[in-house]
Amino acid sequence: MSLHVEILSTGDELLTGQIVDTNSAWLMDRLWDLGVMVRRKTLVGDDRQDLAAALAETTARAEVVVMSGGLGPTEDDLTAECVAAAMGVPLELDEASLAAIRARFEKLGRTMTPNNAKQARFPRGATILPNQLGTAPGFRVALGRAELFCLPGVPVEYRGLCDEAVLPRLAARAGAVPAARLVKLIGVPESHADQAMRPVMDAPEHRGVRFGYRAHWPEIHVKWSVPGPDAEAHAERILGEVRRIFGDAIFAEGKDDLAPVVVARLAARGETLALAESCTGGLVAELVTSVPGASDVFPLGVVTYANAAKTALLGVGADLLAAHGAVSEPVARAMAEGARDRAGTTWAAALTGIAGPGGGTPEKPVGTVHLAIAGPTGTQTWARRFPGDRDRVRKTSAYDVLNQLRLLLRDR
Amino acid sequence: MSLHVEILSTGDELLTGQIVDTNSAWLMDRLWDLGVMVRRKTLVGDDRQDLAAALAETTARAEVVVMSGGLGPTEDDLTAECVAAAMGVPLELDEASLAAIRARFEKLGRTMTPNNAKQARFPRGATILPNQLGTAPGFRVALGRAELFCLPGVPVEYRGLCDEAVLPRLAARAGAVPAARLVKLIGVPESHADQAMRPVMDAPEHRGVRFGYRAHWPEIHVKWSVPGPDAEAHAERILGEVRRIFGDAIFAEGKDDLAPVVVARLAARGETLALAESCTGGLVAELVTSVPGASDVFPLGVVTYANAAKTALLGVGADLLAAHGAVSEPVARAMAEGARDRAGTTWAAALTGIAGPGGGTPEKPVGTVHLAIAGPTGTQTWARRFPGDRDRVRKTSAYDVLNQLRLLLRDR
């Protein structure tokens, strides 16, 4: 039986739609790698009564409760007080924590308020979890049948303390860590991926393996977690099956994103890329340059939204634009070839399309996109008709061209 | 006393970190406008026992429970079954829903499986909430002391059904809708905004007003909700105070984003913009072109990552680059002026900086960015040293240049 873990978060801002709680998903993902699925997650506001009730309920059910929020300096921050009340113990000042908070304020050149001293008060008997990244230390206590971790809600502090103080302890309690694998797919429709994985997921020899499946559009992530003594070899066997099923649609085995894969392949080959974007308006360049070190492979991108710009910067003939329209195969080709010529790069990719909501016609409805990649052995062009709104058409187009680049860079 | 509303969501995918539940934040935001703050949110997996317990607990506490998930066709989808069990009634087939599901499959040219018929079975006595956007209808029942809404988890379907069937009913139950206002700030440090708002939030004449505050970096959103008979006038008075406090830092009164404000101002003035980006790598162009109709004001952007590209495309002198380095005031100025000349636009903005993680020096550490805007009356340049990692430096830079454009376009 898996360890019973629950998550409890507190803060009015979580109940007014001001903040989407991304900490929990992060922790759940980490716990999944340990073979643990969180049983329940509860959010309550900064209310003494609601918080006390939630503390009592979660610690009565779970073996581990990971709580976040309510450790700030203001009156609304009730976590330490409510936990102490539930334990039937007083709050006590921890001199070491107070000194650390004071030192932090001095280092930042800010004045410590009396309120901040509150952050050095903990339920008697608590194990204090020092916070290198903020003023609020966390703490750990025994309450009900649970081990209760109380952490700050600020994401970087929450994650830091989880990595330091929570996950190692849960790993020890959860027992043998299963072997986990992740592959990322692109260019596969969601329904197809689901259907294709079914025989693997249902196979008797994989009983006991936990499969996870996530449509992180336009990517699909498939992961599995194998318990038991033969776990690593078993996880690798499944990887073999998944590779046979999806082949080239797998762009990463592990956590890599698509753009870093493309940049890494270019760098490994000593090659360069230029971009000529119309409908994506700079999104492809933005994705490429989000990768540290992109400057080694990417000298130049242009966003030629106007026809005149396509002509002036890329040498796309005005006659070509007049004859075929800006959204056409010949113009996509001319944009890519023009960009490659002028930038002197190994490769150049171009996109021209109708992202909407306006601009569609019966022959070229919204979602029509022409794409081209010019390279050492010629120019490849293709056309798509993507569904969805402006954002979706732009994003799908950008990922499509990066994926084609990835496939071209795999060869040779 | 405000209506006691709770949210309950079910689905293993919510507890494994595969999906971040954005539906809830959306609903909370809508409810806030009705003067209702959600009291508690609970997530449980696809487990009969956990779901039954959560249903019993939430409907014993709340007047309204909005539940989502578990209405799909598979064995894991337990919502209707568990609700019926909690009510002590059987599930009954609804012929109208079955016909609607069948028609939907026919329209999409897909085969309806026997499993899908499950989606037409509801607890006896339920009010069915037809779903125009998917196969799973929702339903509403009385359970415990609560009115329980059961909705599909797919965001577009969830939101559609909330708008149609949940929010109007909750608005009626919540009573008089308060007057709500939202302003968006930029260029104000979070701590400063908080301090500046304090006197307004603490003023005796605004007792009973609910203030919400959200650091949606690099923007800050301030909202307030005023109950009572004089609500609209009172909300406007507060708006006046907020305007006096923040002045030009307010870029929108309402839900507008920064880039649409800039595009709308350009369009209203019949003016155009070109962009020359280095460190932001296309991000500014991407933000501008995310606005429908951007093509009317934005003919051209270039991402000149390499020095040679700055020279070839923008005419930035090689001597200038050699003398000052690519990240310098003269180069930012030359990029903006070169872009404006070559694109023939009213305005051109340029950014050159060190986004990191590499490339920093003692004189020009990571985060150093030079920005320039060339316009009809000359060129304005400024320098920043932004904190944070690559993503953060890029995003802060992009918003900073858009904000300066907004301020320039306000004048005249």
Contact check, Cβ <8 Å, A292/B213: no
**CA–CA min distance B230, chain A (Å):** 24
pLDDT for position A318: 96
- A305 close to B272: Cβ distance less than 8 angstroms: no
Q: Are residues A14 and A122 in the same domain?
A: yes
Q: What are phi and psi of B170, to 5 degrees?
A: -70, -35
Q: Give me the domain span that covers residue B191.
A: 179-253
Query: Which of A16, A343, A356 is the closest to B32 by Cβ?
Result: A16
Q: Are residues A146 and A282 in the same domain?
A: no
pLDDT for position A411: 65
pLDDT for position B193: 83
Contact check, Cβ <8 Å, B285/A284: no
Is the previous residue joined to A218 through a cis bond, with omega within 30 degrees of 0?
yes
pLDDT digits 0-9 by tens, A113-132: 777 888 999 999 999 999 98
Q: Which of residues 205-234 of B touch A (CB under 8 A)?
A: 212-214, 221
**CA–CA min distance A7, chain B (Å):** 9
Q: Tell me what the mean pLDDT of segment A341-364 comes to.
A: 95
Question: Quick check: A105 contacting B, CB < 8 Å?
Answer: no
**CA–CA min distance A411, chain B (Å):** 27
User: How confident is residue B400, by pLDDT bands cut at 50, 70 and 90?
Assistant: very high
Distance CA A298, CA A161 (A): 37
Q: Tell me what the mean pLDDT of segment A215-235 comes to.
A: 88
User: How confident is residue A1, by pLDDT bands cut at 50, 70 and 90?
Assistant: low
Question: Quick check: B313 contacting A, CB < 8 Å?
Answer: yes
Q: Are residues B282 and B243 in the same domain?
A: no
Work out the mean pLDDT of chain B and round it to a whole number. 92
pLDDT digits 0-9 by tens, B340-374: 999 999 999 999 999 999 999 999 999 999 999 99
The percentage of chain B sitting over the pLDDT mark of 90, rounded to a whole number, equals 74
pLDDT for position A412: 54
| Residue labelled with tokens 């306006």 | A358
At residue A18, does pLDDT exceed 80? no
SS3 B180: strand
Q: Which of residues 6-45 of A touch B (CB under 8 A)?
A: 12-22, 24-32, 37-45
Last residue of a domain, one of A253, A270, A289: A253
B337 versus B116: the higher-pLDDT residue is B337
- Among A221-235, B192-206, B231-245, the range with the most confident prediction by mean pLDDT is B231-245
* Cβ-based neighbours of A202, under 8 Å, separated by 6 or more: none
Q: Are residues A40 and A106 in the same domain?
A: yes
Residue A244: HSE in the Cβ half-sphere, 13 Å Cα cutoff = 7
User: How confident is residue B69, by pLDDT bands cut at 50, 70 and 90?
Assistant: very high
Q: Which of residues 368-407 of B touch A (CB under 8 A)?
A: 390-391, 394
User: How confident is residue B90, by pLDDT bands cut at 50, 70 and 90?
Assistant: very high
> Which tokens hold the place of A318?
């005005």
pLDDT for position B1: 52
Q: Are residues A36 and A169 in the same domain?
A: yes
Question: Quick check: A84 contacting B, CB < 8 Å?
Answer: no
What are the C-alpha distances in Å from B211 to residues B207, B214, B303? 10, 10, 42
pLDDT for position B104: 86
What b-and-e string marks burial along A163-177, b requiring 16 or more CB atoms within 10 Å of the CB? eebbbeebbeebeee
Q: Are residues A406 and A304 in the same domain?
A: yes
Q: Tell me what the mean pLDDT of segment B175-191 comes to.
A: 86
pLDDT digits 0-9 by tens, A185-222: 998 877 788 788 989 999 999 998 988 777 777 898 88
- Sequential DSSP letters for A186-206: ES--HHHHHHHHHHHHH-GGG
Q: Are residues B243 and B316 in the same domain?
A: no
Q: Are residues A246 and A264 in the same domain?
A: no
User: In terms of DSSP bridges, do strands B210-216 and B219-226 run parallel, antiparallel, or are they unpaired?
Assistant: antiparallel
Work out the mean pLDDT of chain A and round it to a whole number. 92
pLDDT digits 0-9 by tens, B26-66: 999 889 888 888 999 999 999 999 999 999 999 999 999 99
Q: What's the CATH code of the domain at A330?
A: 3.90.950.20
Which burial class, exposed, middle or buried, applies to B347 when counting CB atoms under 10 A from its CB (0-12, 13-18, 19+)? buried
Contact check, Cβ <8 Å, B289/A300: no
pLDDT for position A26: 92
Contact check, Cβ <8 Å, B39/A275: no
Amino acid letter, residue B194: D
Q: Closest by alpha carbon to A171, among A332, A36, A316, A339?
A: A36
At residue A64, does pLDDT exceed 70? yes
Q: Are residues B54 and B132 in the same domain?
A: yes
At residue B268, does pLDDT exceed 80? yes
pLDDT for position B57: 97
User: How confident is residue B411, by pLDDT bands cut at 50, 70 and 90?
Assistant: low
pLDDT for position B189: 76
* Cβ-based neighbours of A357, under 8 Å, separated by 6 or more: A366, A389, A390, B292
- Alpha carbon distance, N-terminus to C-terminus of chain A: 50
Last residue of a domain, one of A133, A150, A174: A174
**CA–CA min distance A47, chain B (Å):** 9
At residue B190, does pLDDT exceed 90? no
B211 versus A61: the higher-pLDDT residue is A61
Q: In what order do the strands lie in the sheet with A179-186?
A: A210-216, A219-226, A179-186, A250-253
Contact check, Cβ <8 Å, B281/A303: no
> Which residues in chain B touch residue A293, judged by CB atoms under 8 angstroms apart?
358
Contact check, Cβ <8 Å, B15/A37: yes
Q: Are residues A266 and A380 in the same domain?
A: yes
> Which residues in chain A touch residue B343, judged by CB atoms under 8 angstroms apart?
309
Packing angle, helices A79-87 and A48-61, rounded to 10: 60
Last residue of a domain, one of B121, B148, B174: B174
B297 versus A133: the higher-pLDDT residue is B297
Q: Are residues A203 and A299 in the same domain?
A: no
Domain count, chain A: 3
At residue B390, does pLDDT exceed 70? yes
At residue A338, does pLDDT exceed 80? yes
Q: Closest by alpha carbon to B123, among B149, B105, B100?
A: B149
Q: Are residues A351 and A378 in the same domain?
A: yes
